[in-house]
Structure 1
């Protein structure tokens, strides 16, 4: 008697590298794919699958593969966000439009950064408790197999193969549903062994009485202890079968239903890796009863209880599966999604709503988590396409191997061996690209390479071989700074630097820890660089020019450069002008300047004593009294002084001095002088002050030095100048 088991469908994987004709975003971002780019892969799909896609999904095979590639990227990006601490409740895809449901506002920015539409909360949920799920008890994924249950009667159960894989030692072992290897009442492991059921096509819905089937040759045995299903394994439905018949080879494919034994037929679907369930993704299942059927994932993880009492947690999708499909393959594109577990579909697929698949990866319960130490997915790995170095081409002595692995993902890796030496391994990015730098420089001459791609411990590609010539790199041109020269000064705070160097090299200008811009050396070997911001004013500094070319770095220091500060000026009163006694003094200087003012009244020939002198800051002036008043200076060095008392009539000379604390006097110090007359000025009625002698107002104090006023000196990072003038003489 031949019983009927339920199957889980295999996943389909597509090459994200070949699929997109658009510019690919950086790893970690969502991607969209043009359907027409998948025409070559669509032509390779089995006819039965193409018909199922068009019938059940209402889209073309090209659209199905493009959407599958987008779903794979969405699943990977969502997993990366979760690992980074983003609280994602669900990932939902509609065609290629992705919505991430996050837990809180704090998660929105990170989710939006990958290019998704973001909603706070949970997506609309489904109540699956109303559906009556039943396990469909009844080599290359999708193939039928029979497990002996009773030696005396010869009875047993038919199921479908999920995905080919390996033992830790590299022997063939395939994944199927756990209930396919257990007694339905005692949950003890079936007696076995396991036999092939040769088919020319899907068996079709069960009949009563059952259609007799021929059991083929013995192919293997149930892996002891691997069948996870039933009361002792709540939420699980996965198991393993060892393929021990040496005439059979497990291959990374799902049957295309062309029939035949042993090697897969030409229409099979190639498996390139795994994919996590994403709501809205289009999934297709393969099984020995119904062949290919397709639908959309409606829940990424749901727990259902079968009518017989077992509990399974998996993804829900609306593709038909019937008895005997159990354990078969469920795919999204060329990616392995899960194995058929159960459904509520009737005998002919005309009744029912949903099926449940047990995931290969992702979610809280999956096959790799519980069986990963016993099983590894068999994946088709394409040979790497090496773009650098070009086969037959030339490179310098420092070499980085670059290229792509079609269909490769971040789960892949590559190894590079030069001249038969020790292999160097490198990672493959999510888009299939790789970049593997070699340590040290290669000797000039001809070299050979061998590059191979891997997935896991046992899936590997063919070796890509080639040769190229390494040429000795010409010496790097010496960095030269023609201008400015050591010790030069200028009033331009952003002077041009110029010189010569290695064509294509990068030139950088720094003063201390601050960088002031970069430039590239032209093909003629000349370079110029204008600072991006003002260099230090009023101080001496050293400018460092750095040339970087490949692994060569050169530095030239131009010492003792200086940017001259602006001269101090007196704008009010103007030289030679006549003003009132309540005059406010104004002028300009530079940022960070300290300003000193000295007011001198012309000598009165009729007086016996010299006229007093008032000052704000003076050095070496013994007869200068403090000049009371309000002084202000802004960040640009513009200053004003409003004396506390009006000036009496007379002729005056005001001297303004500017200095910079910590600065170079030759660059920062300057002096301005203005002579003016006060007419009808303040003071008492006769204009001569309280004592009537014509002196300046008595401030009530005197001193031997000027009062210090003005801003605190600002020392800015900066560079030097090209068009520099000779050092100026400061006024004594």
Structure 2
């Protein structure tokens, strides 16, 4: 199905009485025309057609002669000179009067030129404010019937789907696309109101109104695919929707009639029915429709129905859904609704009959609306509820205002300060209330697109809150940062004055706390070093100044730690490949200090190894140039484990250290051989005659290697643990 809304445009017809309504078309395609006989199809997915159109005599409508030539001349002259022509006739004194509107040109030159061409005295031209509009009972609702006129002056019956808004915010109506097209795919030339009590849904006989009244013109229609092509099964462009631009004085309502209040008054159907509060995709379950032929009926979408598919109606494909909801010719375009959610427009189907169950197809609203270029269904949004604070409450400045707005995407807030728009999330909203002391008004209006609710208003009295110390959120107390601090921020009592001073009492800057309680004093410059700021709040009530307690933040600005790039933490080097220096990157001009510490034996078992594996240690410095630095240890480091701590300092302010550990592995140890020369392998006295095998030397060497490995791993582990603790 398809549905759409558009902006208001000039009606193609001038007045209903100027057109000869030569006949009433009572049968035709889909469900568009009255009195059609449906032809059941073998399956619910097959094409459902109605009989060919049948022309019958319509009640005679009095026609009017063409407008007088002088009136035509005046209208043409007005158009030539940008003048808005309103009326022309005879005045009380018998002289002619021509009325123009301020909506067009009214300057002397334009009026004189217009009068000259129209051949009327300039003095007989009268100007009125604005363009006259109809004073009419213009409420029209979903499900209401209307008449459409084709180019051969034949009338068709269809039903209104839903009230709508154009992208420009003008009211419009949605209906079926095939209601806007004749059998030859030509556009209808206009639409007229039909009398509610004369519709079959109200038990009427389809009598035409005595004086047909213009409803509007079709500004968009699509039946089938793009440009009204037939489309195909699965074509996501295939739909059945139209838009009627209504004339001035017509008031489409977000409401679907239940047909229980029909009278001769055009707006009588607005007295009873269902409000439209949302637009959505259809779901299985109960579904209702409203149309001028069968009225308000309710059926179901069950397991045998299609919730998203395509049906070929005559030669056009329409994306939509099926149900057993009663509908018939003339209901086309009518509203299909589930609860308060608009889901579709009646498109076609098969009427119930002997051995045939009702099978109704509706165009899906969610797939049809995007074809309309930005038009939307008008919604009856609930009035928002302010849950806190209550009406006439006393509140402190900036107290949060909370509430609910079901169906809305946002609320507009007015009454205090500048108007603001606040998002609605899961049906709820919250915003900062007034901060000015005294009586204040809070007004909230719910909105969804171009639809808006009635407003809710409460009155509150804003009273002073206790003046407590502000909170400093940046830089925080006892913190260390590595970039120049250019601003101090925090929170405090709204509308009070914030003063930021240094520890000597010199004022560094002031500002006012915002309505949400935040404040920032910028334009500051705290460079490398330790600093302190003192912040207070000040307010004046009845001429008396009040100062809050102080808030203080002590913080340090230090250079970033230097990077070491030549050695990675935990690296191991071969015994003959120990590093002879260290290199990295830093801040140009900074002094880098590297402290190198070698490992020392940790127990008596390894004390004997201290001499063999004496660890190197020392302090080395370098200056960063072009972002790089390096230090030279003087020689390659011997086997052992080492820790390095590197810092960089600017103007005497040192960074946090960069710490790492690495090891230079011990040289491999060869095993012992036979007895010493000349010993002949004999045992030394007191050795119990045992042969000398070299094991006496091998054992201490293996122990030394093992001890070194354990020592290296232990130092690395201890160092890494120290790093974690310090960090």
Normalised-by-shorter TM-score class: 0.3 to 0.5
Larger Rg: 2
Query: Which structure's residues are more often strand, by fraction?
Result: 2
TM-score, with structure 2 as normaliser: 0.48
**Structure number with higher relative contact order (C-alpha < 8 Å, ≥ 6 residues apart):** 1
TM-score, with structure 1 as normaliser: 0.48
